[in-house]
Homo-oligomer: A and B are copies of this chain.
Amino acid sequence: MLSTEDLALLEAIRESGSLSKAAARLGKAPSTVSHAARQLESRFDALLFDRSRYRLRLTPAGQLLALEAARLTLDVSRLTRRVKQIAGGWEDRLCIVTDEIMEFETLLPVIKAFDRLQSGVTLRITHEMLGGTWEALRDGRADLVVGATNEPPVIAKLRWFELGVIEWVFAVAPGHPLARAKEPLEPEAVAAHRAIMVADSSRRPDVRSYGVLGGQAALAVPGMLAKIHAQREGLGVGWLPRERVRSLLKSGALVEKRMADPREPNTLYVAWRGDHEGRALAWWLDQLRQPRLTARLVNGLDRFA
């Protein structure tokens, strides 16, 4: 194959346009370079050097080789770095999947801190909706999930801890008919109005349509933030995460309604497969155990404050 010395030789000849000048540059004897050039030609079974004139130069084939050898050398040095990375206990890449209710910006400082480690680990952070987080972990699409809801399913070698608890509030716009309805609201009263629910982009059943009654009209929106907006505009009703609409409730832009059937809080989980633990995963798990970050992820950002 090709060595760094081969590349250096080709580049020195290309740039100096002379074998003896190239040898001087490389700190080698001209005879060494001459011999090495012959060896290269023999190895590739191609004329790489034009000796028809006084000073030796690259043929077009030699030029192509010089160019491509440079690219290959880059490839190899990247590979060397990656191999060292892994030998040092870091992963090649880390895929983190969060529930879409969680705001990506909360993770930005963490990502920056991780970058400062200069581990070389490729990071990939994506969202999943509904039970999609557990699915991603099972399928191997995720190495780490943040904010998974429902009880942890049966997955080989699964490890997890609780992130926190998310509380729900049934809220309507002040001008919505249900805003003036007698409390606690009965299911029949709710069923007469359109429900707002988060669209399920996966093929799974609509797990996120909590409290939507049979036959009830529904509007599916692309995420929790969109759901908040839709309900604030009076387009429909449904459950919303309390901490994420706190200032809307306080300002009256949304009105909380007590329900005949209250909704239990949800526990959020951090989970990973225990058979693939590298330093990057360990680092992230450590961060996710920090109470301040945890609170921020669970409670979210009040985008309406």
Contacts and interface: CB of A to CB of B under 8 A. Distances in A.
A191 to B, nearest CB: 54
Interface of A is mostly: helix
Interface in A176-191: none
Contact of A82 (B64, B72, B88, B92): B64
A36 interface: no
Contact of A83 (B4, B48, B73, B82): B48
A79 B65 contact: yes
Contacts of A87: 44, 46-48, 59-61
A196 B229 CA distance: 51
B1 A83 contact: no
B84 A45 contact: yes
B46 A76 contact: no
Count of identical protomers in the assembly = 2
A115 interface: no
A139 interface: no
Contact of A1 (B3, B45, B64, B86): B3
B2 A46 contact: no
Contacts of A46: 83-84, 86-88
A75 B4 CA distance: 16
Interface string A64-95: 11001100110110011011101110001000
Contacts of A1: 1-4, 72-73, 76
Interface in A36-56: 44-48
Contacts of A2: 1, 76
Contact of A60 (B48, B68, B69, B86): B86
Contacts of A61: 83-84, 86-87
Contact of A44 (B45, B59, B68, B83): B83
Interface string A241-285: 000000000000000000000000000000000000000000000
